[in-house]
Amino acid sequence: MIRKYDFLVIGSGVAGMSYALKVANSGKGRVAIVCKTTLEEANTAKAQGGIASVTNLKVDDFDKHIEDTMIAGDFLSDRKAVEQVVRNAPSQIAELVKWGVNFDRTDSGEFDLHREGGHSEFRILHHADDTGAEIQRGLMEAVRHNPNIDIFENHFAVEIITQHHLGVEVTRRTPDIECFGAYILNPETNKIDTYLSRVTLMATGGIGSIYATTTNPNIATGDGIAMVYRAKGTVQDMEFVQFHPTALFHPGETHPAYLITEAMRGYGGILRLPNGEEFMHKYDERLSLAPRDIVARAIDKEMKIHGLDHVCLDVTHKDPEETKHHFPNIYAKCLSIGIDITKQYIPVAPCAHYMCGGIKVDLNACSSIKRLYAVGECSCTGLHGGNRLASNSLIEAVVYADAAAKHSLQHIDEYSFNERVPEWNDEGTMTNEERVLIAQDIREVGQIMSTYVGIVRSNLRLKRAWTRLDLLYEETEDLFKRVKATKEICELRNMINVGYLVTRQAIERKESRGLHFNVDYPPKQ
């Protein structure tokens, strides 16, 4: 089947939905949102802490937020991208509110602002401790009621449709590749349909599922990054994987592990060993409010020194009722596994959380492939540099969705549908034997990445990861060529591709910088 849409949005988090809403009412055509599960299941919904924006102008200003972001990113951030996000944040917050998103306010009606690690001022807007879920709720309601948007849930994007212009030498950085839509797997027919578009937006989220333990849902398999990489698009900064220092340690929950928001440390939570001993003073003068990479490495080191599988976060010294008020979901979650956080320590351990790199885009969210935009976690805007500042990701998503909407609306009349695109070859079968192999290979990718390409790396570990991923790649590509394409084998291909990119770009960075820590290149003092 062939479908035609003026705007094709692949992904349904805050980035994809806010873009869809902005272009849907432009009079420039119809919008399709393709998501591989449901609108509800996206990394956006897992973001507890909040969304960063300069709001209290009595004490805060744009320059402070810009400088905090540059420092957190180890000065690898693109200052122009940082300025674009920070200066456009307030107007995008206003737009979220207009779409029905509710942020907590004080009795006087002002936003109730939190402070998180790396921020010099209180500038985190939130909705209790489920801010992402509230943003997702508000956007979903707006999207579902928009008559110009068609939603395709449980549909899986297999590949983007691209054409390399004749007479141009194709390299990974060539600007002469054009996107005409995507091949999408329809779960009802098990056929791969052709979606032609004038503009395509990639908003597929992160890569957390390539690790054995992650705060991301199972769907975070790096699909958009892998598709663009295979289409010869530019992918950058993949070595910078952020490990959240404090995921709830509960062995039965790994995809996603339950996130204990950084706001809890901003609230006054103290990191301790299980015996009650503090340790952050050995690593950073900011103690538990140090940036995430420092805190994650400190916890990792303490766990290895003492042979522990977790450390603890302590809020027992805080007012119990205040704790329950600020963190009702965390309180309820911990209580469900027998931990009263007002009286007991919370067991925590680092796990894969956020990808700072991705599909390289410019200030308009344009990728290196013409007519293809990328926003949200799958994109590399340059904002994060070597390390993401807490709560900058949600605001980056809406600011760049706005930039992508404005740019694509300016240019969409220049684009037409490519009617010559061939349909996908659906031949092949998939047996239980092959499904067992795919499931095992998915587990193996997680083990390889967590063991060799985790919080602390070395040249030897990275070489081992490369060798093992290369073997999996050859086996999986051979299988993909002869079986019927399914969501599972496509996700495995994407995970291997993304794992390879993280490993390769980690090997290429001959220094310890930001989130990338290699024991063979000690950080400069």
Q: Write the CB contacts of 354 (distance below 8 Å, at least 6 apart in sequence).
A: 206, 208, 241, 242, 244, 377, 388, 393
Give me the helix-helix angle, 432-452 and 459-482, nearest 10°.
Answer: 160
Bridge-based pairing state of the strands 31-35 and 2-10: parallel
Which of 312, 218, 289, 263 shows the shortest CA–CA distance to 128? 263
User: Among this protein's residues, is 371 annotated catalytic?
Assistant: no
Query: Which one is catalytic: 265, 292, 388, 468?
Result: 292
Please give the helix or strand (H or E) that residue 85 lies within, else none. Answer: helix 79-98
Rounded CA separation 97/100 (Å): 5
CB 334 within 8 A of CB 340: yes
Please give the helix or strand (H or E) that residue 112 lies within, else none. Answer: none
Preceding omega of 256 cis (within 30 degrees of 0) = yes
- The distance of Cα 224 from the centroid of its chain, to the nearest Å, equals 11
Burial 481-507 (b: 16+ CB within 10 A, else e): eebbbbbbbbbbbbbbbbbbbbbbbbb
CA distances to 154, 155, 378, 462, 488 from 36, rounded to whole Å, are 4, 5, 15, 31, 11
DSSP string for residues in 332-382: HHHHHTT--TTTSPEEEEEEEEEES-EEE--TT-B-SSBTEEE-GGGEE-S
Which of 454, 480, 520 shows the shortest CA–CA distance to 210? 454
CA distances to 265, 295, 383 from 6, rounded to whole Å, are 45, 45, 29
CA atoms within 13 A on the CB side of 441: 27
Which of 13, 43, 9, 19 shows the shortest CA–CA distance to 150? 9
Active-site annotation, residues: 292
